[in-house]
Amino acid sequence: MRFEDWVIIGVPVFAFGPLITIYFLAKREDRQRSVRLQAISDKHHFRYTDKLDDVDAMFECIAMTLGGVFRYSKHVLEGHVADIHIKVMDCHYSESDAFNAPQHVRTLFACHVPQAHLPDFDLDIKGVLSKVHGKHDECEFEYDNATGFSRKYNLRVRDQSEANLYFTSARLKQIDAALTERNWRVQSFNSWVAIVQNGKRVYTKDWEKFFFDSLAFVNSLNNELLDGRLTRELSARGY
């Protein structure tokens, strides 16, 4: 074979070989994640869906939570724990509507807790390099005496009067303790609580821990949730 022939064959291989390798490694990792999460879904009697291209009304503000435009979700687990409706998924979104806009993925935990009577709020760690912004009808929470909390977190609320009744100094200390060393963004809206991990999706090996850590945090927002049934359910699972 002539040198020119080797060049014709070799250039595409060297140019596209790494990209092809990355693509197939990503596909393999996705299949492994699917198998593992299906097993977790069966274990907890949840329903598993590999991919959803649309988003229902409850996620009307997920794009705002993630800081972009919702595209689709993968590895969707849906079910109930102590009568609380829960959805967990990998949300794929882009920074804009443009076809070639960079795409990102975050793992989202969402649960419906009308019994908790939570105010609508948006809580994030200060200093996180994020394009996420609060909703237009939200304003910065006005602290009475929680300067330590205000230095660590951004807290925006829709109704200041309602928030004042809920976010007491004791409650803020409880939330601070629950969020220690967790790089989360938390939103409460229309009786739903949504939690995403800032910066990346949750690794498959950490998925179950993220699930129960999120559920335990939601329980900490109202320890009398479901007359303590969720607390007992979590305690039985070691949380």
The percent of residues above 70 in pLDDT, for the chain, comes to 71
Domain enclosing residue 165, as ranges: 44-236
Mean pLDDT of 175-198: 87
Residue 21 lies in a domain: no
Residue 36 lies in a domain: no
- Between helix 207-221 and helix 229-236 the angle, nearest 10°, is 150
Distance of CA 201 to the CA centre of its chain: 8
Residue 168 has pLDDT above 90, yes or no: no
Give the pLDDT of residue 60: 47
- Spatial contact of 196 and 184, defined as CB atoms under 8 Å apart: yes
The closest of 47, 61, 131 to 89, measured between CA atoms, is 47
Domains held by the chain: number: 1
Reported as a single tens digit per residue, the pLDDT across 13-50 is: 555 566 566 666 668 888 999 999 999 999 989 999 98
Residue 167 lies in a domain: yes
Residue 116 has pLDDT above 90, yes or no: no
Residue 162 lies in a domain: yes
